[in-house]
Amino acid sequence: MLGLPGTTEINKPLPKKALFDKFKPNAADRKLFDEQISRLSIVAEISPQTVSLAPSAEVSAIYVIDVTLKTPDCDKKNIALLSKLIDQRMLFVLEYGDNARLAVYRAEKVLVSEEKPTDEWQLDLSGLDLEAVWENIVAQIGSIDLAGGKGLDATIAKNDHREKLAKQIVVLEKKAMSERQPRRKWELAEEIKRLKAELEGMR
């Protein structure tokens, strides 16, 4: 899977019941998880035992988790829940039919890739050690450009803030269009102008 070396391949089911019994998520989280996820299994381990890469102080292994979905979409809450329950570096392959998206949890945010046929995914293991490899995997999935010299977490936070600003502008523009009071309309226009200037300054 993902074009990884054969030495990384394993097949270890992760029964949902065992996860629920061990970690005891609340009823709402458990219901959402159950509605969208059919089954889970660990399909690959990227570690010094399986590839020629040294561990780092932070990363000793990266696990690839195959997630078979019942629905085309997987709520990001499910990925965040799994990532918080299991204290490991995990790459999730969200499979529905013949297609898949890749997902990771980093900097309190779930990053999800585009969707394409499962057998077309090729994961690039680039880096001098497992920590660098992990950061590059996260960057690949989140379409993050690390060439600017900024750290991965700082870049994720900046991108997240940019997305929130853009959404906020859209909401305010809709409000401004339907607003009838001239003073309130002017206030909204000023706020939109301020947010657009902030967004432009982040480019």
pLDDT for residue 14 = 92
Block residue for tokens 């982040």: 202
CA distances from 41 to 29, 66, 94, 96, 198 (A): 19, 5, 11, 15, 44
Comparing CA positions, the residue from 49, 75, 74 lying closest to residue 62 is: 49
Give residue 120's pLDDT band: very low, low, confident or very high (50, 70, 90). very high
pLDDT at residue 8 is higher than 70: yes
Mean pLDDT of the chain: 92
Share of the chain above pLDDT 90, in %: 74
CA distances from 25 to 55, 105, 115 (A): 31, 18, 28
pLDDT for residue 149 = 63
169: Cα within 13 Å, side-chain hemisphere: 15
Give residue 148's pLDDT band: very low, low, confident or very high (50, 70, 90). low
| pTM for the whole structure | 0.81
Mean pLDDT for the stretch of residues 120-133: 92
pLDDT at residue 35 is higher than 70: yes
Q: What is the CA radius of gyration of the chain?
A: 20
Q: Which residues contact 80 (CB under 8 A, 6 or more apart)?
A: 105, 110
Domain ranges in the chain? Answer: 6-142, 152-201
